[in-house]
Structure 1
Amino acid sequence: MVKEYIKVEDVTVSYDLRPVLWDIDLKIPQGVLMAIVGPNGAGKSTLIKTMLKLLKPVSGTITFDGKPYKEVQKQIAYVPQRGSVDWDFPTNVLDVVLMGRYGHAGWFKKISKEDKNKALLALEKVGMENYKDRQISELSGGQQQRVFLARALVQDADIYFMDEPFQGVDIKTERAIVALLKELKKENKTVIVVHHDLETVKEYFDWVTMINMKVIASGKVAEVFTDENIKNTYQNNQLTDIKEKHHV
């Protein structure tokens, strides 16, 4: 039996009365490196945004170590999809990373020398220390993703949510990100990643949740990432089944 660290119970999410996620139940242990996989439109990004209170579910509850999000939000870091960010915003790399320290320092307090040192160390970890004064808009897609990862690292979080962090990056950047994610796991951090490449699931992750509007399977990669579950996840009749069952 899975001892839940993050618990999602009976969560349903809809857009304009159209179901996107239906009756989601998940129990996620502490210290796993988990992929969320499924076809386009399956609700992968919607799931993590709902867990982060960026979207409001129609029903259901989500707890983190038995507590609601508002009580633990300082222990949670989020790396959004690169395409959802306004990269033309006039700021440099170091300032972007320092934004990750405001949860500790407070928005209206001066950033300390310790905060700055943590930001510089995070940039060094992602190989971006030489770009600290560069405007964020001048970076390549892979470099921008590394900077956002550094911003998450300086939060010293217990739980990390990442929405397709490998999208649009080269293989060198992807390998560097994977190495950092595995380092977080060694520190008993819980890392949840929306992922699209099925070929790398076994190599990158130890836990997987497979969804297509509803949970098809969730558990250890070695146990649930099977051909049968992959087939059930990527078939196209999930929406039809849900609509017929619930008269949507």
Structure 2
Amino acid sequence: MGPSIELRNVGLTYGENVILQDINHRFSAGQCHIVMGPNGGGKTSLLRSILGLTPFSGEIDIQWEQSKGKLGYVPQKAMFEGSLPLTVMDFILLNQSSSPLFWRQNAKNKARALTQLERVGMANRADRRMGQLSGGEQQRVLFAQALLDDPQLLVLDEPTTGMDEQGVRYLESLIHELVADNRTILAVHHDVTAVRRLDGHVHVVNRSVIDNGSVAEVLVPEKIERLFNHYTAAPAVSSVDAENKKEVA
């Protein structure tokens, strides 16, 4: 069973720019949670706070059912030096251990990696260099890498960026499979049509959580335009200063 996530008075500022403010919210265990909202509303910042990648105020409690489980993370983009002769298999095995990469190329680890690559339709590209892949294909590899440790919590930041329709469907199928196995999925997503297919619990973030519920409750025409307008009021600073702040996603 995946964990639940409890947020208590969570806030985040960059300088004087308020990104998240007084969030008290809960993501239930074993469900698919989709975080949506306008650009600059704080979606990615919320995920980074939950992952402990950025400082925040308040408390974030990841509540595991028993002992602490494993977490998988898929960022918006693969980070690697494109000029390196790094194959897909090399890349996916990078997080296996602290041992040098050439020590990890054993049959057991490669078999595990190929299994996950098959789940995202990339097994036939295992020997291809990462730099030769499209952005969408690289995202599929990131997803396979995140699944290697069999995580109970999977955090996805715009996981379908650059993907073609086939890649999107692979990932949607996997997400349904993981939720059926009671894993907790927390994903930032912007595509309303794709989110409807996922049929998860939607949380709209615009500095705070301004709405949440099922797809049928939240993603209705009369709500969408209002929910996805960016929050423009000045936060605890002068209006002149607020106009000059750099918007942060």
Q: What TM-score, normalized to structure 1?
A: 0.85
2:161 counterpart of 1:167: yes
Superimposed CA distance per residue, residues 119-165 of structure 1 (whole angstroms, 9 cap, x where no aligned partner): 11111111111211111111111211111110011121000011111
Q: Which has the higher helix share?
A: 1
Q: 1:89 to 1:210 in 2, by over 3 A?
A: farther
Structure 1: gaps (5+ residues): none
Conserved 8 A contact 2:44-2:188: yes
2:36 counterpart of 1:62: no
Q: Please list every run of at least 4 consecutive aligned residues from structure 1 whose deviation after the TM superposition is greater than 6 angstroms.
A: none
1:149 matched residue in structure 2: 143
Q: 1:162 to 1:117 in 2, by over 3 A?
A: same
Distance 2:188 2:207 in 1: 14
Letter in 1 for 2:61: T
Letter in 2 for 1:50: S
Distance 1:37 1:61 in 2: 22
2:48 matched residue in structure 1: 49
SS at match of 2:93: helix
Superimposed CA distance per residue, residues 26-76 of structure 1 (whole angstroms, 9 cap, x where no aligned partner): 21111211211011101111110110011010x111111169xxx84x611
Distance 2:20 2:48 in 1: 12
What are the within-5 Å matches in structure 2 for residues 201-216 of structure 1?
201-216=195-210
Q: 1:183 to 1:100 in 2, by over 3 A?
A: farther
Distance 1:241 1:228 in 2: 26
Distance 1:209 1:87 in 2: 35
Distance 1:140 1:75 in 2: 29
Conserved 8 A contact 2:156-2:186: yes
Distance 2:206 2:166 in 1: 30
Aligned residues: 233
Distance 1:244 1:118 in 2: 52
Residue 191 of structure 2, aligned match among 197, 216, 229: 197
1:129 matched residue in structure 2: 123
1:108 matched residue in structure 2: 99
Question: Considering only aligned residues, what root-mean-square deviation do their CA atoms show, in Å?
Answer: 2.5
Deviates more, 1:88-97 or 1:31-40: 88-97
Q: What TM-score, normalized to structure 2?
A: 0.84
Distance 2:237 2:14 in 1: 18
Q: 1:7 to 1:131 in 2, by over 3 A?
A: same
Conserved 8 A contact 1:216-1:232: no
Distance 1:134 1:125 in 2: 17
1:92 matched residue in structure 2: 87
Conserved 8 A contact 1:8-1:27: yes
SS at match of 2:168: helix
Conserved 8 A contact 1:217-1:224: yes
2:78 counterpart of 1:78: no
Shift of 1:185: 0.9
SS at match of 2:94: helix
Conserved 8 A contact 1:77-1:159: yes
